[in-house]
């Protein structure tokens, strides 16, 4: 005996588009962030733009979810349904908190043209001069600032405007950015930058684990339980399952 699922088992077209756009951006950000040391330098260039896009689309997706009832879960055990709810909730938390922590990270640098920025630049120049003096004979010390706000805070990155997809300037988080306006605030801001960077990195690994659980559950329902889980999100048309 077979049971036919109808289109009522599928998510709406808007929900599908939001799901896949966010998914693509998340995969890129995790790859460009967690694998940054081994990836080509240019692969990271859109990391900030993609992260802000994830944050914006997630806000839209949450609004859509609150105003449009999603289809019910396919038949599954109670513990599987509970696990799915928990993973989905944590994914939403991660899709908001991880981009927001990245936004705070690039904001944790002294404002351009401020006394704090001048102080941080002077510190950096002095450090470069010391390294130049102690470098081994025949070697070259080259200090290259990281892309747009991705340095260690306190002036280690260039204080030029951060553009989102080269379309508009990313506004910095004022309270975080203003900490380094004075020379006295630079050490505090640098310490904050380090803490945010640690949280951002740990959050990236946690989001990766959640994605593995999410994808693993979907594949389990699709191929082990013979339920049209993938079709619900637009990968094919709901068909028959073995009853």
Query: Which of 76, 121, 61 is CA-nearest to residue 229?
Result: 76
Q: Strands of the chain (E only): list them.
A: 2-4, 163-164, 168-169, 240-242
DSSP annotation of 159 reads: -
Per-residue pLDDT of 135-172, as tens digits, reads 665 555 454 444 344 444 544 444 678 999 999 999 99
Q: What is the pLDDT, as a whole number, of residue 72?
A: 86
Confidence of residue 227 (pLDDT cuts 50, 70, 90): confident
What is the rounded distance in angstroms from the CA atom of residue 5 to the CA atom of residue 231? 10
Confidence of residue 99 (pLDDT cuts 50, 70, 90): very high
**CB-based contacts of 156: which residues, under 8 Å, 6+ apart?**
109, 120, 124, 145, 146
Q: What is the pLDDT, as a whole number, of residue 206?
A: 98
Arithmetic mean of pLDDT, 22-36: 97
224 near 1, Cβ under 8 Å? no
SS (H, E, C) 145-157: CCCCCCCCCCCCC
β-strand pairing of 240-242 with 163-164: unpaired
H/E segment holding residue 229: none
Arithmetic mean of pLDDT, 221-232: 89
Q: What is the pLDDT, as a whole number, of residue 59?
A: 97
Confidence of residue 7 (pLDDT cuts 50, 70, 90): low
DSSP annotation of 6 reads: -
Q: 């240019």: which residue's tokens? A: 42
Arithmetic mean of pLDDT, 213-220: 95
How far lies 26's CA from each of 19, 30, 31, 100, in Å? 10, 6, 8, 14
Tokens found for residue 61: 């997706």
Instruction: Give, in degrees to the nearest 5, the angle at Cα 15 between 12 and 18.
Output: 150
User: Residue 241's beta-bridge partner residues?
Assistant: 3
Arithmetic mean of pLDDT, 173-192: 96
Q: What is the pLDDT, as a whole number, of residue 242?
A: 42
Per-residue pLDDT of 124-137, as tens digits, reads 888 888 877 776 65
- Mean pLDDT taken over the chain: 86
Query: Which of 33, 25, 57, 47 is CA-nearest to residue 163?
Result: 47
Q: Is the pLDDT of residue 184 over 90?
A: yes
Q: 């990281």: which residue's tokens? A: 146
Backbone φ, ψ for residue 220 (5° rounding): -65, -45
Q: What is the pLDDT, as a whole number, of residue 159?
A: 61
DSSP string for residues in 64-82: HHHHSPPPPPPS--HHHHH
Q: What is the pLDDT, as a whole number, of residue 136?
A: 64
Q: What is the pTM of this model?
A: 0.85
């Amino acid at each position: 005996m077979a049971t036919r699922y109808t289109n009522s088992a599928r998510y709406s077209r808007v929900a599908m588009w939001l799901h896949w756009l966010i998914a693509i951006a998340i995969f890129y950000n995790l790859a460009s962030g967690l694998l940054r040391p081994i990836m080509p330098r240019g692969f990271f260039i859109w990391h900030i733009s993609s992260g802000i896009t994830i944050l914006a689309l997630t806000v839209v997706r949450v609004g859509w979810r609150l105003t449009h009832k999603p289809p019910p879960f396919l038949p599954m055990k109670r513990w599987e349904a509970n696990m799915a709810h928990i993973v989905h909730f944590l994914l939403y938390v991660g899709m908001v908190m991880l981009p927001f922590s990245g936004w705070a990270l690039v904001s944790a640098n002294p404002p351009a043209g401020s006394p704090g920025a001048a102080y941080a630049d002077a510190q950096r120049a002095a450090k470069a001069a010391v390294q130049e003096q102690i470098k081994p004979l025949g070697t070259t010390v080259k200090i290259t600032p990281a892309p747009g706000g991705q340095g260690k805070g306190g002036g280690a990155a260039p204080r030029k405007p951060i553009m989102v997809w080269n379309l508009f300037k990313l506004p910095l988080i004022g309270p975080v950015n203003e900490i380094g306006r004075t020379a006295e605030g630079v050490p505090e801001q640098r310490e904050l930058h380090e803490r945010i960077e640690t949280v951002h990195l740990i959050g990236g690994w946690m989001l990766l684990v959640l994605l593995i659980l999410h994808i693993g559950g979907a594949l389990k329902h699709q191929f082990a339980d013979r339920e049209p889980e993938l079709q619900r999100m637009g990968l094919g048309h709901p068909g028959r399952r073995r009853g």
